[in-house]
Amino acid sequence: MSKELKKALFLDRDGVINHDPGDYTRSLNEFTILPGVIEFLQEHSKKGYAIIVVTNQGGIAKGEYSLNDFYEIDAYMGSAFAEAGINYIETYFCPHHDVVGKCLCRKPGSGMLEKAVHRHGIDPEQSVMIGDKWRDIEAGEGAGIRGVKVDVNQDLRTVDLGF
């Protein structure tokens, strides 16, 4: 008997989930979940979507903030999602940046998404990657996941995912 694959919403973090100030979100004090995000993710969790965050965090490699700063923000976000009953699975992040050194995980590469698909039994054909940059869309498409481009800091309740 085969296990049924899950459908998922993959989301970039800065500018999609939280307010992007135009450079790096360096600390929990700078992290603000955008209006509409919780409601949007609650609605799609109820529809059976797993929620997975996929984010480049090149500021770590560049010394703009620490790995601990990232983990503090991620723990806060995960707690907020859990309190809201959101089916949040995990955050995948790339702590590298091209100015410091090349890597395989950084978007527009699809490595983080492919890892999540395999680890969590995700069906790429039933899933969507939501991002505010073309590299997010390219990363999704590289993993066989349809991309939906949104504006930076857009209210996700205004987004048509096409289903």
Between CA 128 and CA 4 the distance in angstroms is: 18
Q: Where are the alpha helices (DSSP H) in the chain?
A: 37-46, 67-83, 111-120, 134-142
Q: Which of 14, 20, 69, 136 is catalytic?
A: 14
Between CA 129 and CA 147 the distance in angstroms is: 5
Q: Which of 12, 69, 74, 132 is catalytic?
A: 12
CB 51 within 8 A of CB 88: yes
Between CA 109 and CA 93 the distance in angstroms is: 12
Question: Which residue matches tokens 């995980």?
Answer: 105
Does 155 qualify as catalytic in the annotation? no
**131 three-class SS:** strand
Report the DSSP beta bridge partners of residue 6.
122
Does 14 qualify as catalytic in the annotation? yes
Between CA 131 and CA 14 the distance in angstroms is: 9
Residues serving a catalytic function are: 12, 14
